[in-house]
Amino acid sequence: MNALGSLVYDSSVTQAYRLDAFPCAPELLAEMILSPDERGHWTSMRAVDKRRKEWLLGRAVAKEAVRLLLARELNLHLAPAEIEIVPDPYGRPLVSVAPPLRVATVHQPSISIAHSHGTAVALAVLDPEAQVGIDVESMTGRREDFEAIAFSPDERCLLAALPLDLRREWALRMWCAKEAVGKALGRGLSAGLRAFHILRIDPAGGEIEVELRDSALGQCPPLRGKFLNVYTARESNFVFAAIIHQQGAVRMRPSRQDILDYLLQKMGELTEDWDYPDPVRPESRLFTELGFESLDAVVLCTAIQEHYQTPMPFAELLAEIGQHQRDLSIDELTDFVNTHLGGPKGADSTRRVQ
Amino acid sequence: MPIMTESEVFDKFAQIVAKSLRIDVSQIAPDTHLTDLGAESLDLIEITMETETQFHIFLPDKSVLETAVEVFGPGVLERDGYLTGEGKQLLLRRMPDADAQAFAGEVAVRDLQHYFLRVDTWVRMIQGLAQYTPTECASCGGPMATSMGFRMKCAKCGQEITLRSGEEFNREWVREYYDREYRPQAAVSFTRPACL
């Protein structure tokens, strides 16, 4: 999941578990992590062993993703059994966290769960309005010709243009992308496979563009004329796809404003016990105004790379600043980070949507 | 095509499922759910392909409810994830052997998934579609053989036909139901579905 982890950030957590790494007997795990209602469902499941175990693994991984997310973002520490996951009438999993006494309300994070061949993955996003979808498929034991039924002639052309050794993997990535979009919209692939049309694939970056058609548009009219960007990745024998769709816009990378907010918050933390008369502002300059020293700059740069899980050429930036004896404002730093996260330049470019 | 009995279709379909999921055929009963047997989404695709090849049919790629919602327009058969009275009526008509009791209370769309994934639901769908697949050529009476995908070819005179899709049959059935059962009612109550 590291491969996906670096693509999906921004107040989200992705998590993956494997069946062969079950920490204890499934019955014991069920006792520990499930709510009373969930345990009722688990006990009454008539499915084969593999299916029951994967269901449990899916719950475990989703609860862990929500737990990590709430701890990191809201400093809220919950036990897995306090995070209940119930399907809505269409079958989409909804999180239901009972607010602890000291907190008035908790926004319920949005989640998506998927499992395949003994691996379960979950994606949790803090924004309760976000529509999130994740899918995973195993590369082993698939019929070569499933493409004939899963894809339209146009979509098969996209595959045919790829080098032979990539086709199988990309057929699965395209399948996962359709599933992830179906899950994000909450209705699965019920509108039919043709209703989730793949317009473009980017073998270098792993992105897949999906456009809704026919009855999928009927289920989700605001998406007419838009395309959805799905991030896909391969790790060992599994292929993953994920999408976070927020407020009518497709956003996976943070906006410039998100980056600025994060940097201001981070600067606030770093300089908490230093002695400043003024609050940290976008135009504050690191060295002359905030009293940064080179070591502080290195700490900040490391924290930024860690946060966005993306390496950026900070060494060159700092060297250039040293050479020209100039300072760096938080605004400029924001632009630098924004550029290296692949976002467009400029203050009002926020969303990567058509 | 010589009409296959329900149990003949079941036996053949159970073999397909068992082979695809690598399980023993004895685990499969008419009321088993494919997902309970461990079928994942792509397994369902593989089962669909194999079924289409072996029975010479073209399965629909969405449920009859989904097709019906397209014909009736939004909010008529299903609202906020629950079946309306009209929605229940249509499905009960379509599936005469469905448990009417189960349709008495609130029915969520997700509960229907269980029904659509039952082995006997598939068996009846296969049986229904297979009767439209010709065994003899319409012009010369020669034997028909599958050629490419959903096309069949007469082994004697070479005439080719394209099989009709299950989706088309579903749509036809829904339209007919709409004209016969729903529109007369709608005319009386002066409500029309939004799509028309």
Query: What distance in Å separates the CA atoms of residue A83 and residue A240, rounded to the nearest whole number?
Result: 25
CB contact B41 to A (< 8 Å): yes
Q: What are the start and end residues of each CATH 1.10.1200.10 domain in chain A?
A: 256-340
Element (H, E) at A131: strand A131-138
| Tokens, residue B124 | 């009846």
Grade residue A249 by pLDDT with cuts at 50, 70 and 90: very low
Choice among A7-21, A84-98, A258-272 with the minimum mean pLDDT:
A7-21
Q: Whole-number mean pLDDT of chain A?
A: 83
Does CATH place domain B6-189 in 3.40.605.10?
Answer: no
| Tokens, residue A267 | 């600067």
CB of A215 closer than 8 Å to CB of A229 = no
Query: What distance in Å separates the CA atoms of residue A348 and residue A179, rounded to the nearest whole number?
Result: 33
Provide the pLDDT for residue A75: 81
Burial environment of residue B20 by CB neighbours within 10 A (0 to 12, 13 to 18, 19 or more): buried
Does CATH place domain A1-128 in 3.30.2130.10?
Answer: no
What 3-state class would DSSP assign to B88? helix
CA diameter of chain B = 56
Provide the pLDDT for residue B11: 97
Q: Region B10-34: what's the mean pLDDT?
A: 95
Sequence-ordered list of residues with C-beta below 8 angstroms from that of A195, at least 6 positions apart, any chain: A189, A212, A213, A214, A215, A216, A217
Provide the pLDDT for residue A277: 62
What sign does the dihedral A337-A342-A348-A351 (CA atoms) show? negative
Provide the pLDDT for residue A89: 94
Residue A28 Cα distances to A19, A62, A67, A80, angstroms: 14, 18, 20, 14
Q: Is the whole-model pTM more than 0.80? A: no
Closest CB to B81: pick one of A45, A88, A116: A88
CB contact B38 to A (< 8 Å): yes
Residue B26: pLDDT above 90?
A: yes
Provide the pLDDT for residue A57: 93
Alpha helices in chain A, H assignment, sequence order: 2-5, 26-33, 36-44, 49-74, 147-150, 153-160, 164-185, 214-219, 256-270, 294-308, 314-323, 330-340
CB of A120 closer than 8 Å to CB of A17 = yes
Provide the pLDDT for residue A310: 73
Provide the pLDDT for residue A347: 37
Provide the pLDDT for residue A246: 75
Q: What percent of chain A has pLDDT over 90?
A: 41
Q: Which of A19, A45, A51, A172 to mutate to test the interface with B (most CBs of B within 10 A)?
A: A51
CB contact under 8 A, A194 and B61: yes
Chain A: nearest CA to B169, how far in angstroms? Answer: 15
pLDDT digits (tens, 9 = 90+) for B96-126: 777 777 788 899 999 888 888 999 999 999 9
Q: Could you list the beta-strand ranges (E) of chain B.
A: 78-79, 82-83, 144-146, 151-154, 160-162
Closest C-alpha among A184, A223, A176 to residue A201: A176
Q: What are the start and end residues of each CATH 3.90.470.20 domain in chain A?
A: 1-128, 137-252
Closest CB to B38: pick one of A50, A91, A148: A50
CB of A313 closer than 8 Å to CB of A321 = no
Q: What percent of chain B has pLDDT over 70?
A: 90
Closest CB to A192: pick one of B38, B41, B61: B61
Burial environment of residue A44 by CB neighbours within 10 A (0 to 12, 13 to 18, 19 or more): exposed
Closest CB to B49: pick one of A87, A146, A191: A146
Provide the pLDDT for residue B148: 63
What 3-state class would DSSP assign to B158? coil
**B129 residue type, one letter:** L
Query: What distance in Å separates the CA atoms of residue A135 and residue A122, rounded to the nearest whole number?
Result: 9
Q: Tell me the CATH class for A137-252.
A: alpha beta
Closest CB to A215: pick one of B49, B66, B80: B66
User: Which residues in chain A are closer than 8 Å to B52, comparing Cβ atoms?
Assistant: 149
Closest C-alpha among A82, A77, A68 to residue A37: A82
**A348 residue type, one letter:** D
Greater confidence, A201 or A129? A201
Interface of B with A in 44-63 (CB under 8 A): 45-46, 48-49, 52, 61-63
Provide the pLDDT for residue B184: 67
Provide the pLDDT for residue A101: 55
Strand partners, B108: B82
Q: Region A89-117: what's the mean pLDDT?
A: 82
Q: Region B141-164: what's the mean pLDDT?
A: 82
Q: Whole-number mean pLDDT of chain B?
A: 86
CB contact under 8 A, A91 and B48: no
Provide the pLDDT for residue A99: 67
How many C-beta atoms surround the C-beta of residue A117 within 10 A? 17
Q: What percent of chain B has pLDDT over 90?
A: 53
Query: What distance in Å separates the CA atoms of residue B91 and residue B63, rounded to the nearest whole number?
Result: 11
Residue A54: pLDDT above 80?
A: yes
Q: Region B68-75: what's the mean pLDDT?
A: 90
SS3 sequence, A43-73?
HHCCCCHHHHHHHHHHHHHHHHHHHHHHHHH
CATH code given to domain A256-340 = 1.10.1200.10
Grade residue A286 by pLDDT with cuts at 50, 70 and 90: confident
CB contact under 8 A, B35 and A87: no
Grade residue B174 by pLDDT with cuts at 50, 70 and 90: very high
ipTM: 0.87
Q: Region A316-339: what's the mean pLDDT?
A: 85
Greater confidence, B146 or B189? B146
Provide the pLDDT for residue B149: 63
